[in-house]
Every structure is written in structure tokens, then in C-alpha cells.
């Protein structure tokens, strides 16, 4: 790795950690409903919203009440986005006159945005009207992220509380997450992004003359270039902050209008991990034991850092297949070197590989380089990051509750090994909790592997694979891994905008979001109902380096057992073919 590369990585990690702690403490105040500095402005808005929607903010609900509330809200959002896409040709703010989106693509996209996946089966600039982007997609960027944070708040209360059935009020947590956390952060980020050159307007696309005319595929002469426009910055800010990832333009944050400079890149990359990382510290605050937050944060970092280094190393090493063509792939002060296919010069190798690891660690899914063109091991890192279940930072809210499920499993397994009753923060871990936890861990690999298998043995599944051989298998596995973990990034070569992939992918996204969310709430409800077990000599401490190490081991072993065989068929085969 180059010196400049190391400096950029270290700087990124330091800024991330430094900002996470104060933001985490602030978010804890939001979830505890304490006064914040934004209350003078947002307090009245919040009160009006509760009045108009008939929410009694002091009423709490049990896990089932909250689960139903979350489901009803998500379905309402899903239907709204579907309807907008199908009717966009009849609605205003459509200067390009784009037509209605096809039913299967509209279904996939509606599920995608309501489930916080933000998989893009479509190409933004040629498919979605400004109205659809703003009123449909931007809104879901906010509320699906806020719903994840609300679920986390409910789950944490399940851990923090004892002898009660009540977890809090989904509506209040949803509203406060949006107003006090996502909205102010997005406004600041959006304005800074515009200053860097991200477009933000309501104009129609602009045409400029080309310096040198080009000839298109049909032999016709092209003398102008059409520049896409639109309210991009406002959507990009929340797509990064809310682990959404659905870009304004087809190539997402690789597009110079979406991510024009190293500064915009740094901030967008920071925003991918900022809230998920900060939520670890929110957790520590809410369970009144900051060490628990640090322990979870440390476990995430221990997995994140070596995998990032692996991806950077694999990409910087370059492509052995083009050796001998007279090409210089060595990094220096005047060229990035390495595997530059599908990467932008302004980002080079380090900022591309760091982004790729961050976006798959968090379930963000935005990209600033094309993962499909990564070296096999670089691509394997992004696949494996998702296959760990999106618990290394993960989605806003969903990542941390996924991680806490692994904590409970780690406590349980450790308890079995030493022959003690497993306890976590004063709760006995019993059969019901373990059933829910096992379910939560098994649903994802079953969905991903079953759908991958189905696609590669069926004709419509194989028809749109873009790369031959092992890489083609990786494309299919990446597609279902991404959607089955609500990530949304892609090995984009695969032709995914077909009824086959739109429908199966939509199902995978629904399962990944809601079949996980409901048992998670059930687990929280069961934990909250338990009597407090006093801490004794025999209690396993869950904040020590030993426990953090143990937690990392459990996560890696579960992930590896589930996916190593499949990875061997894709990226590993490709790696050995390429290197021999």
C-alpha cells in the first residue's frame, strides 16, 4: 500500500471515530426524548405532526403493537412509491417526459426503497422523473432509514428494561429520528456537496457541443453531449447518511455530478459509516454502560480494518491478465496504478476500495467504482462483508440490532462452553431467545443461497449473465447477497432489470427486512419481560477484550460456514484461474 493510501485510510478512521462519539450521545438524547439544541425549531413541528396524525406520544406499545405499526407504515410507503412510478408520465416535474415504469421494475424499486435496500434495477437519469425521485425515492430514503433507527431504539429498550412488556412508541421514534437526526445532517451535507459540484436544480437536461464529434454505434455522427440535471445533492446526502445507496444517476457516486471531488468523496464515504458507527455509542448511553458500546464498536472495527486492507491490496496489485501488453500498473506520485478498470482517476485505488468495503460493511450499497470489475479477491471482500449479515456497522439501526443478536449468540455459546447460565446485561438467555436468534441468523443465508441456486439453474436467470464462467456465478450470488441483506450494491454487469430478477429480488428484499425485523422485536419483547438478574461473580462480562475477540470469532465462523463453499465457486476459482 502506498504512503498516501495509508494516510488516507488512517485519517478516515480517526475522523469517523472522533465524530461518532458526540453524535452517538446526541442520538441517545433524541431517543430518550431529552431536550436538544434543535428543540426551539423542531419541537413545534414535532408536536404538530403528532396532532395531525393522532399519535399519543406518551402511549407505549408492546412488541406486537410496534411490529404492526412498522409493517403498516412500510406497506403504505411501498404502495405510494409503486403508484408514483406507474403514474409518473401523468404527473408534473417530469421535464424529460419519461414514461411509466414497468410493473416488475416498479415493484422491485418500491420494495427496494421501502426496505432500506435501495437496489437500483433501473437507470436513474433515463427512468425516473424528478417527482418520482423527490416525492417517492427521497422520502423513502428518509423514512426507511428512520424506521430502522426506530426498530433499534425499541430493541435497545428491550435490553435496557426489565419486567415490562412495553418497548416504546414506533411512531415517536420514527418521527424523532427523521426530524432530529437525518434531516439536519442531510441539509448540512447536501449544501457542502453542492459546493463541490454536485448538481441541485429543477432544470431540464442541458446540451453542450462536443469539441470533437464522435460516431455512435449505428454510424451516426454525434456533435453534442446531453448533461443530466436535477435535484441530486439533496437525495445523495440522505442516500449516504441513511445507508440507502440508491443513486440519482445510473453509476451512482462514480458519476462526476454525484461525487465530483476527493472532498465530496471523503464526506460521502464518511456518511456511509457515520450513523451506524455512532449508534454503537448511543447503545452504550441507553443501557447506561458505555463500555458495551465501545465493545461493539471495537468488534466492528476489528473486522472492518483487515478486510479493507485486503481489498486495497488486491486492487492495488493490478490485473495479471493484462501483464505483457506494455501497460504500467505500478502506483506512483503521478498515477494511481493498480486495477483501474471501473474506477475513477480522482479516487484512485485507495478511495475506491475503501468505499467498496464501507458500503458493503454498512448496508449502504452506493458505489464510487464498479465492483463487477474488481479483482476476484477485492470482489470477495465486498461479498463477504454483506454475507456476514450486514452487522459490521450495517444499516442504520438494522446493523446494530443484527450485531446485538450475534452478541446474544456469543454469550450463549460462551455460557455453554463454561457451563454457566448465559446472561446478557441482567437478562437470562433462554430457549425462546435462542430460537429467535437462530432464526435471525439462518433466514439470510437460506434466502441468499436458495435464490442464487434457483437463478443459476433456470433459463431466465442465466439469460442475462454478462460475464462468462466463475465471474458470472459471482454476479448472480452478489445480486441475491445484496438484496438479501438490504445492501443494494451490485456486480452491475448482470442484466437485473428483467421480470425474473425484479420479482425474485423483490422477494429477497422483503424477507431480509421484515422477516428479520419481526423476530427481532419479538426477541426484544421477551428480553424486556424478564426480571433483572443481578450481576454476580459468575456473570460473563461483555465489555472485555476477550469477549470482543470471542464475538468476532463467532461472527466470522458463522459467516464462513454459511458462505465459504459458495465463495469457492465464484471469486476463489476466478482468483486461482487468473493467477496460474
Partner 1 sequence: MKQHLRPAVALLVLFTLITGALYPLLIVGIAQGVFPFEANGSIIQRDGNPIGSALIGQQFTSAKYFWSRLSATAPFPYNAGASSGSNYGPMNRSLLNATRSRVEQLRGADSLNMQSIPVDLATASASGLDPHISIQSAQYQLSRVARERNLPEVKVRSLVEQCTESRTFGFLGEPRVNVLKLNLALDGLTSSPKGAD
Interface positions, 196-225, toward partner 1 (CB under 8 A): 196-203, 205-206, 208-212, 214-218, 222, 225
Nearer to partner 1, 233 or 425 (CB): 233
Of 28, 151, 229, 400, which lies in the binding site for partner 1, with binding defined by CB under 8 A? 229
E-only strand ranges, 60-104: none
Closest distance to partner 1 from the beta carbon of 243 (Å):
16
Nearest in space to 238 (alpha carbons), one of 229, 248, 251: 248
Nearest in space to 145 (alpha carbons), one of 103, 164, 173, 124: 173
The answer to whether 238 contacts partner 1 (rule: CB under 8 A) is yes
Nearer to partner 1, 134 or 523 (CB): 134
Subset of residues 341 to 360 that bind partner 1, contact rule: CB under 8 A: 341-348, 351-352
Over the window 161 to 200, marking each residue x when it contacts partner 1 by CB under 8 A and - when it does not, the resulting string is: ----------x--xx--xx---x--xx--xx--xxxxxxx
Radius of gyration of the chain (CA): 23
Distance separating alpha carbons of residues 564 and 384, to the nearest angstrom = 9
Distance separating alpha carbons of residues 19 and 113, to the nearest angstrom = 27
The answer to whether 459 contacts partner 1 (rule: CB under 8 A) is no
Of 85, 373, 452, 485, which lies in the binding site for partner 1, with binding defined by CB under 8 A? 373
Phi-psi region at 349: left, alpha or beta (left = phi > 0; alpha = psi -120 to 50): alpha
Closest distance to partner 1 from the beta carbon of 550 (Å):
37
The answer to whether 83 contacts partner 1 (rule: CB under 8 A) is no
Nearer to partner 1, 203 or 544 (CB): 203
Q: How many residues bind partner 1 (CB under 8 A)?
A: 133
Nearer to partner 1, 229 or 386 (CB): 229
Distances (CA, A) of 290 to 22, 102, 181, 281: 13, 49, 21, 7
Q: Are 242 and 144 in contact (CB under 8 A)?
A: yes
Distances (CA, A) of 566 to 365, 380, 493, 559, 572: 21, 11, 20, 11, 9
Nearer to partner 1, 344 or 433 (CB): 344
The answer to whether 120 contacts partner 1 (rule: CB under 8 A) is no
Nearest in space to 366 (alpha carbons), one of 487, 469, 260: 487
CA angle 81-107-476, nearest 5°? 130
Of 31, 119, 180, 249, which lies in the binding site for partner 1, with binding defined by CB under 8 A? 249
Nearer to partner 1, 139 or 453 (CB): 139
Closest distance to partner 1 from the beta carbon of 518 (Å):
14
Subset of residues 536 to 575 that bind partner 1, contact rule: CB under 8 A: 574
Nearer to partner 1, 283 or 491 (CB): 491
Of 260, 413, 438, 453, which lies in the binding site for partner 1, with binding defined by CB under 8 A? 260
The answer to whether 497 contacts partner 1 (rule: CB under 8 A) is no
Distance separating alpha carbons of residues 303 and 296, to the nearest angstrom = 11
Nearer to partner 1, 109 or 368 (CB): 368
Distance separating alpha carbons of residues 279 and 162, to the nearest angstrom = 22
Distance separating alpha carbons of residues 50 and 564, to the nearest angstrom = 49
Element (DSSP H or E) covering residue 424: strand 423-424
Closest distance to partner 1 from the beta carbon of 495 (Å):
10
DSSP 204: P
Closest distance to partner 1 from the beta carbon of 488 (Å):
16
Amino acid at each position: 500500500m502506498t504512503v498516501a493510501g495509508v494516510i488516507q485510510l488512517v485519517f478516515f478512521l480517526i475522523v469517523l471515530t472522533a465524530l461518532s462519539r458526540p453524535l452517538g450521545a446526541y442520538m441517545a438524547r433524541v431517543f430518550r426524548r431529552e431536550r436538544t439544541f434543535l428543540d426551539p425549531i423542531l419541537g413545534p413541528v414535532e408536536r404538530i405532526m403528532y396532532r395531525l396524525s393522532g399519535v399519543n406520544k406518551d402511549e407505549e406499545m408492546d412488541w406486537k403493537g410496534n411490529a404492526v405499526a412498522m409493517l403498516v407504515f412500510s406497506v403504505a410507503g411501498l404502495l405510494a412509491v409503486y403508484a408514483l412510478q406507474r403514474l409518473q408520465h401523468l404527473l408534473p416535474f417530469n421535464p424529460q417526459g419519461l414514461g411509466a415504469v414497468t410493473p416488475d421494475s416498479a415493484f422491485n424499486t418500491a420494495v427496494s426503497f421501502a426496505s432500506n435496500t435501495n437496489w437500483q434495477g433501473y437507470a436513474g437519469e433515463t427512468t425516473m422523473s424528478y417527482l418520482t425521485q423527490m416525492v417517492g425515492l427521497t422520502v423513502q430514503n428518509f423514512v426507511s432509514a428512520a424506521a430502522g433507527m426506530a426498530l433499534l431504539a425499541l430493541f435497545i429498550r428491550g435490553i435496557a428494561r426489565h419486567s415490562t412488556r412495553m418497548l416504546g412508541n414506533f411512531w415517536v421514534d420514527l418521527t424523532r429520528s427523521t426530524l432530529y437526526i437525518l434531516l439536519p445532517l442531510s441539509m448540512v451535507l447536501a449544501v457542502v456537496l453542492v459546493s463541490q459540484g454536485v448538481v441541485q436544480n429543477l432544470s431540464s437536461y442541458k446540451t453542450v457541443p462536443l469539441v470533437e464529434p464522435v460516431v455512435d454505434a449505428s454510424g451516426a455522427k454525434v456533435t453534442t453531449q446531453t448533461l443530466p440535471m436535477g435535484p441530486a445533492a439533496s437525495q445523495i446526502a440522505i442516500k449516504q447518511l441513511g445507508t440507502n445507496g440508491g443513486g440519482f444517476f445510473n453509476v451512482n457516486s462514480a458519476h462526476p455530478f454525484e461525487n465530483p471531488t476527493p472532498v465530496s468523496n471523503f464526506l460521502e464515504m464518511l456518511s456511509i459509516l457515520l450513523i451506524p458507527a455512532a449508534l454503537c455509542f448511543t447503545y452504550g448511553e441507553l443501557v447506561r454502560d458505555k463500555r458495551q458500546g465501545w465493545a461493539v464498536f471495537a468488534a466492528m472495527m476489528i473486522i472492518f480494518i483487515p478486510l479493507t486492507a485486503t481489498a486495497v491490496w488486491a486492487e492495488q496489485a493490478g490485473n495479471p491478465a493484462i501483464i505483457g501488453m506494455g501497460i504500467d500498473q505500478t502506483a506512483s506520485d503521478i498515477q494511481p496504478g493498480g486495477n483501474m478498470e471501473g474506477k475513477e482517476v480522482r479516487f484512485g485505488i485507495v478511495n475506491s476500495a475503501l468505499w467498496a468495503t464501507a458500503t458493503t460493511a454498512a448496508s449502504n450499497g452506493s458505489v464510487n467504482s464498479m465492483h463487477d470489475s474488481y479483482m476476484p479477491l477485492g470482489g470477495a471482500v465486498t461479498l463477504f462483508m454483506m454475507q456476514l449479515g450486514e452487522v459490521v456497522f450495517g444499516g442504520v439501526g438494522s446493523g446494530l440490532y443484527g450485531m446485538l443478536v450475534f452478541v446474544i449468540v456469543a454469550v450463549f455459546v460462551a455460557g455453554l462452553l463454561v457451563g454457566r447460565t448465559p446472561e446478557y446485561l441482567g437478562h437470562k438467555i433462554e430457549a425462546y431467545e435462542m430460537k429467535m436468534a437462530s432464526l435471525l441468523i439462518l433466514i439470510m443465508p437460506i434466502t441468499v443461497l436458495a435464490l442464487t441456486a434457483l437463478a443459476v439453474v433456470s433459463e431466465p436467470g442465466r439469460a442475462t449473465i454478462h460475464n462468462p464462467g466463475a465471474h458470472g456465478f459471482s454476479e448472480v450470488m452478489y445480486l441475491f447477497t445484496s438484496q438479501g441483506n438490504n445492501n443494494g450494491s451490485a456486480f452491475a454487469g448482470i442484466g437485473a432489470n428483467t421480470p425474473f430478477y425484479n420479482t425474485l429480488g423483490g422477494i429477497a428484499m422483503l424477507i431480509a427486512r421484515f422477516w428479520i425485523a419481526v423476530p427481532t422485536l419479538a426477541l426484544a419483547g421477551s428480553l424486556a419481560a424478564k426480571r433483572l438478574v443481578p450481576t454476580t461473580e459468575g456473570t460473563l462480562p461483555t465489555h472485555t477484550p476477550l469477549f470482543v475477540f470471542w464475538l468476532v470469532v463467532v461472527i466470522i465462523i458463522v459467516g464462513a460456514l454459511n458462505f465459504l463453499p459458495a465463495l469457492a465457486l465464484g471469486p476463489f476459482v476466478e482468483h486461482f484461474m487468473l493467477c496460474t
